[in-house]
Structure 1
């Protein structure tokens, strides 16, 4: 299963319980079921009073009277009886799971709970969710080889040279940043329709020549491999339990979209309100994105800064604030097309639209610095140690930046960019409007306000 953040749905004492409560044991299981489990995993399943998991995982565990014969075990652990069959109460995960998980775990807090998970529970799995919910000291994990390990073993791919993208409960567009000519990507599928969606995305992006291999039911008796290319893929659906392996090959003329800042202006849908490529690259260097941080892109225009921020690392988050509804809609389309559909788009006029947003680690003001209260609101909301970057192209907005530079310090730089363009039968330089960039870093809390 996927591993989204666990919401705060229960008081901590309801979930965490007492240190004397038995730890929740998470057992990874493959499509080979009981036969593929270690003896340590089998002992935990026999000792459990409650088995939790998806219906498919629970069906892989033999019921009383049906356990297959196995070789003699070592001495039983954790109070499990030698040879005891898994006769625990079975609980199928509710849907949706996350809202119900805290109360479900709390309702069995005095019992020996064993959770079943596909493959490695700590790789995009329920194990990480339970650790965040209960704490590492109340969760014990017995992993099984992940689908990634099994796929790489079948394909002869080096696991450390493969990028893994999960499409479980996520739109297919999150695959975009991983697609580069010559790279190998493993896609964790949501269901049997995922391979067709991946093929369509690759073909539309200009990577129709990419070989695709779908590996179904890895490790099980029904394991199957289906191969083709993105452009010629014809299967509308495969088995739901599958992994898609892609060797990215760009079609002739396909423009690469690197993760480094400064994507071509043509990569964005816009009406002219766009931070141009050269200025964007310098602006991003001043914002200095760090994995896991949150950016406010205020006066987002086409959303290019927020999008490039999120493309810098998959853990980065951004909120794009744009007052014009048409532009806000274009921001969302740009974010999806460039692989960051999780960009949060807020339609409204700042600074009022900033109220209630999560405090940011960095703020970019691309428009509206002359609006009363704009800089104040952004600076006050910024976390200690955070960066505020503002761009100006008019005399009036530049004057505002100079004023704030005098108050808060920081650095200022003016960029004057010229682009070559035809002049009759020759080539000349056409200057773009100069852009002034002000950067300020908020002092740590211990230093107080300046």
Structure 2
């Protein structure tokens, strides 16, 4: 009987070793042993330079850009004992995530070091659980704007020595000039230092690129209050009139029910307000705004950057054609174009089981479309109206906005279930527009 071929040997797990500014002297025995025993040492030039001669493995510096190179570099040294160096805690905004995506948890042995955030909180005596962390490493500084709230404490992970000045300028631009900044450099190392000032008066030159910025947020008098909940003031947006008004917008987001990590299609983006406030709910929320008017598409991008969600993806094109090839959404909002042939069908077909759809209109023609879809699929059909107090001569009276019809529904394999009631946007001709 022919014996079965032996299973191929299981490659040794890759050791991922966190190292701080204190270098070799700050490493525990387990981390030192992994580095001494490695045949291949992969890391940044600065990190590799912290290792002593007894770490005799072949030293390989990460190329730039780093992320796309990870699979190929690991494959090139498959079968060798590999140790990867990481700054601080590899699983906190570090290389550990990329390595896990390539090798899986079983292919790694992670040996963490205290992160720069842990060091910073220790120096400042800030409770870590009450401190929000925003990374600007490889990300636009505009994302910091969503975290600016009076009295909040932030730790900003810097991209380089110039980041503190960029942060100070952003704080001034958004009305948070009185905020205190502390730049903490080389945390845990012999050259540890700190610099303090306010965003309004920040004039310190760039110093060490290895720094963390601590921000105590203070809003300047007269700066508009932008809360964390949906329903920002209308004047927070640049728009041409195609704007979902704040009361309608807040109710619309309630019906869409964003959750961390979910993706929204905002079809007929207009000013982008629904997609922007979807993304402001949680840093991991994602959105794609589809807008046929190129001028409005550019405006959406500006609004997203100013309100702290520059990662909003804007597709400049008409629907339904512009929806082709987009990633599967968790929810779809249709703010215009319900009478465009095939639009509602395309959005419905794109939704997975459990996905939500919310559509708003003020026209009788589109209301008829929603009524038919409600008859076929269930859900919840509501009419909403908002009135504002306005002067009437020497008195005050109510001015009624156009009533809005909204259909909200959850798609299920066994039918549909009712969604939450919400407000709607005015539909303009076609499918473009952030409707009122």
TM superposition score normalised by structure 1: 0.89
Q: CA deviation at 1:99?
A: 1.5
Aligned equivalents of 2:201, 2:369: Cα separation in 1: 56
Instruction: Determine which of 38, 45, 48 is the counterpart of 1:48.
Output: 38
Aligned equivalents of 2:8, 2:216: Cα separation in 1: 49
Deviations along 1:216-256, whole A, 9 cap, x unmatched? 11111111100000111012422110000000011111112
Aligned equivalents of 1:218, 1:424: Cα separation in 2: 65
- SS at the partner of 2:254? helix
Instruction: Determine which of 207, 231, 234 is the counterpart of 1:265.
Output: 234
Structure 2: stretches of 5+ with no match in the other structure:
1-6, 418-436
Deviations along 1:180-239, whole A, 9 cap, x unmatched? 001100000000111111101111111100010000111111111000001110124221
- SS at the partner of 2:412? coil
1:403 lines up with 2:372 in the alignment: yes
1:27 lines up with 2:45 in the alignment: no
Provide the alpha-carbon RMSD of the alignment: 1.4
Q: Which residue in the other structure is 1:306 paired with?
A: 275
Instruction: Determine which of 328, 333, 352 is the counterpart of 1:364.
Output: 333
TM superposition score normalised by structure 2: 0.92
Q: Which residue in the other structure is 1:142 paired with?
A: 111
1:60 lines up with 2:15 in the alignment: no
Q: Contact between 2:378 and 2:416, CA under 8 Å: does it hold in 1?
A: no
- SS at the partner of 1:228? strand
Q: Which residue in the other structure is 2:266 paired with?
A: 297
Q: Contact between 2:379 and 2:416, CA under 8 Å: does it hold in 1?
A: no
- SS at the partner of 2:109? strand
Q: Which residue in the other structure is 2:153 paired with?
A: 184
Paired positions, count: 411
Q: Contact between 2:70 and 2:98, CA under 8 Å: does it hold in 1?
A: no
Aligned equivalents of 1:344, 1:54: Cα separation in 2: 31
Structure 1: stretches of 5+ with no match in the other structure:
1-16, 64-84
Q: Which residue in the other structure is 2:430 paired with?
A: none
Aligned equivalents of 1:160, 1:423: Cα separation in 2: 52
Aligned equivalents of 1:241, 1:426: Cα separation in 2: 62
Deviations along 1:397-423, whole A, 9 cap, x unmatched? 111111111111100111110112233
- SS at the partner of 2:67? coil
Aligned equivalents of 1:308, 1:403: Cα separation in 2: 29
Q: Contact between 2:377 and 2:415, CA under 8 Å: does it hold in 1?
A: no
Instruction: Determine which of 124, 142, 147 is the counterpart of 1:155.
Output: 124
Q: Which residue in the other structure is 1:12 paired with?
A: none
Q: Contact between 1:172 and 1:197, CA under 8 Å: does it hold in 2?
A: yes
Q: How does 1:32-431 map to 2 (within 5 A)?
A: 32-63=22-53, 85-431=54-400
Deviations along 1:6-65, whole A, 9 cap, x unmatched? xxxxxxxxxxx96710100000000010000001111111100000000000000012xx
Q: CA deviation at 1:448?
A: 7.5
Q: Contact between 1:391 and 1:438, CA under 8 Å: does it hold in 2?
A: yes
